[in-house]
Structure 1
Amino acid sequence: MAVGVAQLGFRLNSTPPFGPFSQRNRPRFPKSLESCRRKLISRPLSSSLVDEQQISFTEPENLLIEALIGIQGRGRSASPLQLQDVESAVQVLEGLEGVLDPTSSSLIEGRWQLIFTTRPGTASPIQRTFVGVDFFSVFQEVYLRTDDPRVSNIVRFSDAIGELKVEAAASIKDGKRILFRFDRAAFSFKFLPFKVPYPVPFRLLGDEAKGWLDTTYLSRSGNIRISRGNKGTTFVLQKKTEPRQRLLSAISTGGRVKEAIDEFISLNQSVAKGEPELLEGEWQLIWSSQTETDSWIENAANGLMGTQIVKENGQLKFLVDILLGLRFSMNGTFVKSDTNTYDVTMDDAAILAGPFGVPMEMKTKFNLELLYTDDRIRITRGYSKIIFIHLRIDRSK
């Protein structure tokens, strides 16, 4: 268990060589960068909003970010298709020329946020708890140009509680590889004026406290780093995240979501072109500004839960899984009434059990205001002025 804490951010020698990306089932490298470029779908509004003073990504880096959008638990909940998309985007970047000899560059220095790892839940119970849970933020600090070079893994529980920091003495082997040995760990709680040592007997762990980390890609902007550990685990880390990532992070941690939405929409207003459209596809609700009521059927009818399916010719469906194969379905229509608003009528409800259905007498009308949309995320203001955030879950469109 103690070793598991030390493994946050990289893998130690004690971990068996298994995972979703063994050499046998590793996804094929895309034939050309151009083929990956074509995967970036044109959007009615820009999906890679950029604060020019803080952050910039190349097109292949944006491809990786696109693949990461919507993956929870830093990879723990990723589907096989999502994992393949991420690994393909990672391999594209590893095949490009980033910063040469990244361990010799000052761009590798600083605090990096762990965005994705191929195996977030396969070690100790502590690692599964910390790395696979979105509520905790996980970072890695790299400081190699000091009298005491160090690489540290940090779990921040919240701004109000504090963090756990596991430190390793580090040395540079070559232009890509960092060698490390964990030697101390401590909790820093906001409500205590002193650190609380984490009782890990690093000296007694021997080689199990050692490891290495290769940086296989470091962006020239210093914003993205891809690393692979000594047991084959892949890590994607960022110093600065793009607006959609910050918004989804706020939703995951449950902190300052409305502020993140305001920032996101404000940034979008400066780059939006043309009229936004309600895009076809399946959209999963991930957040709303109103909590659910005690009545699940009221929640379902008002779009406060489940999936929203937008079809051609102005057809709309709410679909909610209830239990034991039962589903709630409600169909309706939408008509564009202004630049970014729609009149929605939902009037055909039923409880479904396989191919059979039991009709229900329900009807609701409301205005839907489209605040932001791209091919992966959508923000609307709907029933009773509630703000809704949906993620697109169908990959065919």
Structure 2
Amino acid sequence: MATTEIAALGFGFRLTQFPPFSSSLSNRNPNNAIAFNSIRKIPNFRICSSSLTNETEEQGLFSNFTQDEIRLVDALIGIQGRGRAASPQQLKEVERAVQILEDIKGVPDPRTFVGVDFFSVFQEVYLQTNDPRVSNIVKFSDAVGELKVEAVASVRDGKRILFQFDRAAFSLKFLPFKVPYPVPFRLLGDEAKGWLDTTYLSDSGNIRISRGNKGTTFVLQKETEPRQELLSAISTGIGVTEAIDKLISTAQDKDGEPQLLEGEWKMIWSSQVETDSWLENAANGLMGSQIIKKDGQMKFLVDIVLGFRFSMTGTFQKTESKIYDVKMDDPAIIFGSFGLPVNMETRFNLELL
């Protein structure tokens, strides 16, 4: 049975020759946008994903990707490991995006790609040499080293790469020599052989889709964008503040001033520590959704349990460049058409970064 193989998303790719690739898969709504809200006098960030589509802005963040490629990359953000924990809906979105790109075809002769690399697992493919090879590499860390499994490679029918694994070794930083990996490749026979079809290669060389002899689908990516790095960092909980700084720096290089966009935004990360009181967290906008309206109205909305919801409405007004004065003063616990008022008010200055 065919499966969708999902590798951990990674960053910091380097090119070995021309069109290189690095393996990555993850999942996120393709219509996402990101807002950075810095609350004055409180050192925190609040990051939300929007239900609104802004294709012009998104295309700017992914300048070397087509819209169909962006949909695939977004569908993959957040899926960790090899996809075993992915939901059926996530896999369905990935497979649908893969099928769209395969139907488009992309570069007609995709076998001419070479090399890839990313932070934990990557693949190198060298075909235009006297010793054509495919190598799968597991990089443990810069301090520890890596495991490299190599295969003899050849090309058939323009898009199929045939390979046979023949050697493997550890390269450890604390040892001056390589340590052979104890796998008897010669005794494995056909088990050490395989093939890989490249079914899609983007014109920009950023996205490659391949299918293996065991029915596995691989999506490989050369470049990651700052927004993509941030969403992946949030999904793993590692390097979030660094990814925020990088995306903010990228946004500051662009012309124009960011606007507080209308729509429903879901809270996905905050640097502000939550308190023991969920009511206080909800009133501070640290959970649930934030709804922005054109008429200067704002609402916090949090699902509680069994149909009960917390709702808090208020207003926002722009006071200076990128700065909004926010006043939230009408909270209630809601069930159906009934509401129980809560005595609570919160005010803050919001800076849109």
Q: TM-score, normalised by structure 1?
A: 0.63
Q: Relative contact order (C-alpha < 8 Å, sep 6+): which is higher?
A: 2
Q: Shift of residue 289 of structure 1?
A: 3.1
Q: Shift of residue 191 of structure 1?
A: 4.4
Secondary structure of the equivalent of 2:190?
A: helix
Q: Match of 1:177?
A: 160
Q: Shift of residue 67 of structure 1?
A: 3.4
Q: Within 2, Cα distance between the matches of 1:227 and 1:342? A: 48
Q: What is the percentage of aligned positions where both structures have the same residue?
A: 60
Q: Alpha carbons of 1:141 and 1:90: their partners in 2 closer, same or farther (altered >3 Å)?
A: same
Q: Match of 1:56?
A: 64
Q: Within 2, Cα distance between the matches of 1:18 and 1:142? A: 24
Q: Shift of residue 178 of structure 1?
A: 0.9
Pick from 73, 86, 94 the counterpart of residue 94 of structure 2.
86
2:316 maps to 1:308: no
Q: Shift of residue 303 of structure 1?
A: 3.8
Q: Alpha carbons of 1:311 and 1:50: their partners in 2 closer, same or farther (altered >3 Å)?
A: closer
Q: Match of 1:46?
A: 57
Q: Shift of residue 357 of structure 1?
A: 8.7
Q: Match of 1:96?
A: 104
Pick from 315, 319, 343 the counterpart of residue 302 of structure 2.
319
Q: Alpha carbons of 1:111 and 1:316: their partners in 2 closer, same or farther (altered >3 Å)?
A: same
Pick from 358, 362, 365 the counterpart of residue 347 of structure 2.
365
Q: Shift of residue 216 of structure 1?
A: 0.7
Secondary structure of the equivalent of 1:48?
A: helix
Q: Within 1, Cα distance between the matches of 2:91 and 2:202? A: 21
Q: Shift of residue 142 of structure 1?
A: 1.1
Q: Aligned pairs, how many?
A: 307
The correspondence of residues 8-27 of structure 1 with structure 2, limited to 5 A, is 17-19=1-3
Q: Alpha carbons of 1:197 and 1:275: their partners in 2 closer, same or farther (altered >3 Å)?
A: same
Pick from 329, 332, 336 the counterpart of residue 317 of structure 2.
336
Contact 2:333/2:339 (<8 A) preserved = yes
Q: Within 2, Cα distance between the matches of 1:307 and 1:142? A: 45
2:219 maps to 1:214: no
2:150 maps to amino acid: E
Pick from 196, 201, 224 the counterpart of residue 241 of structure 1.
224
Contact 1:278/1:370 (<8 A) preserved = no
- Stretches of structure 2 that go unaligned for 5 or more consecutive residues are 6-30, 33-51
1:111 maps to amino acid: V
Which region of structure 1 is more displaced relative to structure 2, 259-268 or 212-221?
A: 259-268
Secondary structure of the equivalent of 1:65?
A: helix
Secondary structure of the equivalent of 1:110?
A: coil
Q: Shift of residue 180 of structure 1?
A: 1.7
Give a deviation string over 1:262-289, Cα, whole Å, max 9, x none.
Answer: 322232234454651233224141x333
2:261 maps to 1:281: no
2:51 maps to 1:68: no
1:168 maps to amino acid: A
